[in-house]
Amino acid sequence: MRSFLLLSGLFCSLLSFAQTDTLPVFPETPPLLEDVLQDAEEEVDFDFDTYYEPLEALREHPLDLNRADREQLQEIRLLNDLQIEAFLEYRATAGPLLALYELQVIPGFDLPTIRRLLPYVSLRSSLDDFHVPLPRMLSAGKNELYLRWSRTLESSRGFLLAGDTSVSGRFLGDPNKWYTRFKHSYENRLSYGFTAEKDAGEEFFRGSNPQGFDFYSAHLFARNLSRTVKAVALGDFTASFGQGLILYSGFGYGKSAATMEVKRSGRVLRPFTSVNEASFYRGAAATLAFGPLEATVLGSYRRRDGNVVVSTDTTETQDLPAITLSSILNSGLHRTPAEIADEGAFHQLTFGGCLRYSSDRFAFGLNGVLDRLDQPISRTPQPYNRFYFNGNQLWNGSLDYTYRLKNLLFFGETAVDPNGRLATLNGLLAGLDRKVDVSLLQRWYSHEFQSLNGFPFAETNGVNNEAGVYLGAEIRPASRWRLNAYYDLYRHPWLRFRTDAPSRGRDWLVRLTYYQKRKLEVYLQVRRESKEQNATDYFGPLDRLVAHQTLQARLQLNYHLSKALEWRNRIAFGTFREGEDGP
């Protein structure tokens, strides 16, 4: 057994000034986003600009709460699903809102939530969206050009080795990171533009990138062109079906202090303006509405990075060496000779469709995805990857559902692969009373299930080899207090990377938050996780599993000195222990 202690940020203070970077700084970062990014176990490559764009548009053209539908409320990402259902139920029962502060009487709407919402909503009346002609949306609206440069002062090892041509890990480019983006938008209805980016260490206008930037993206996206045409996407876009078992390319909430955010929701199609070089599709897509039915079709063809393996074995009928892929790479980094060799190693063709029926209480969708690769995947055989996908073609189908019953929201999705293996996720969001909300989620992903595009709620990446139960709660005992907590128990029926036997784990989190008007926010958070992995200090003939246990505690104070100045102070504490005691 061994352990060590880490104490960080004893008094880590930050003064935040209101300034203009790529987008205006808003008075308060949406806590759902902040909680998810802070509690993520791995570094999250997240583009804040694309998250804030819908909010920026709503500041200029606020959302009419008396006309907003479920998808529009989900789009702003400031309300959880229970709050949205409570609002729609109240509006259907009491009629149109007469004043914004009427939100205080809706279950689940506490004062901090209402304050965050007010800058982006109104009670104004307007014409139907599709009454605005397309030529006007193309000529009117707003044009924006973003330019950004950044550079880390310290030189990483890759730059220090740049002059040694015998080292494969050397970076061929300079340490500068460049980003540029142009976008024309008309409210949240139409946008077109392009994005270009070069990461630190990548070549610029030379070598592997004679065209300049390493990554280019362009899009044209329109919404609500008529009562039938709900969305059209050309170029780069993202798509999400159901709860993400077979296709999800948006930002998904996982386990965090946002304990009620376990349900995937939002629009099926969105424009892509980020710089994540893996989580998007390139081609065309459309959503058509026929009364309560909505049909979405998409087609995509794009280059992907992969680890190339060239086989020198030949046969009498095949004189050329065979080229296969040992893995698909998603980092988007092309700095070293090895990374450049893997760039654009294969093409991925994707077709997908979703037929969805929606009513006030019930919705279900029938989804399908087909992927074809021009180079087959042939992984190096290892016990843990025995059931991973190998080949050049894969299809998945699924059925997802949502059912609303008063203060209860049931949801889920069940998917199948070509081998008949299943993956299923089912959940419940419940408003027990005005002060208590509860979330419950069960998932079971067969260790033999295969999917190339899935991104559901899970402990690990991918949609396989996991079963678990999650229980979360949000309690508002008083107007200035909030308690968030969750407990997750999971197991992996088959081996994993660096875990040479079936394993299990559990983790829990508790956060207590105190608010004081618009000035002060203080919270104390404790998180503990225990999961089985190979022992790191054991050198016997067979690996053995031990519990890797982490404990993290955080005390944070946010104080608004003025509208333009905020002071943040954090104390963080963490421990790690590796021992015999299992989860």
Same domain flag for 214 and 267: no
Q: Is the pLDDT of residue 20 over 50?
A: no
The model's confidence at residue 495, banded by pLDDT at 50, 70 and 90, is very high
Average pLDDT, integer, range 30-51: 56
Q: Is residue 33 part of a domain?
A: no
Provide the pairing of β-strand 215-223 with 229-239. Answer: antiparallel
Domain boundary among 402, 428, 454: 428
Q: Which two tokens stand for residue 87?
A: 């609002």
Domain boundary among 176, 194, 220: 220
How far from 217 is each of 45, 52, 277, CA to CA, in Å? 17, 19, 9
- Tell me which H or E stretch contains 341: helix 337-341
Give the residue numbers spanning the domain of 153. 132-220
Average pLDDT, integer, range 34-61: 64
Number of domains in the chain: 3
| Of the ranges 1-10, 96-105, 450-459, the best mean pLDDT one | 450-459
Same domain flag for 370 and 294: yes
Average pLDDT, integer, range 306-330: 73
Same domain flag for 174 and 245: no
Contacts of 209 (CB under 8 A, 6+ apart): 198, 202, 203, 334
CA distance 497 to 495: 7
Residue with more model confidence, 7 or 185: 185
CA distance 88 to 72: 12
Same domain flag for 306 and 405: yes
- Count Cβ atoms below 10 Å from residue 6 Cβ, excluding itself: 11
Residue with more model confidence, 61 or 456: 456
Q: Is the pLDDT of residue 256 over 60?
A: yes
Same domain flag for 267 and 389: yes
pLDDT digits (tens, 9 = 90+) for 174-205: 999 999 999 999 888 899 999 999 999 999 99
CA distance 357 to 334: 43
- Count Cβ atoms below 10 Å from residue 489 Cβ, excluding itself: 15
The percent of residues in the chain predicted with pLDDT above 70, rounded, is 85
Q: Is the pLDDT of residue 46 over 70?
A: no
Residue 7's pLDDT is what? 43
Same domain flag for 267 and 341: yes
- Which of 33-37, 61-65, 502-506 has the lowest average pLDDT? 33-37
Q: Is residue 422 part of a domain?
A: yes
The percent of residues in the chain predicted with pLDDT above 90, rounded, is 58
Same domain flag for 320 and 211: no
Domain boundary among 384, 410, 428: 428
**Mean pLDDT score of the chain:** 86
CA distance 54 to 121: 12
Average pLDDT, integer, range 399-413: 95
Q: Is the pLDDT of residue 8 over 80?
A: no
Q: Is the pLDDT of residue 6 over 70?
A: no
Beta bridge partners of 122: 64
CA distance 384 to 439: 32
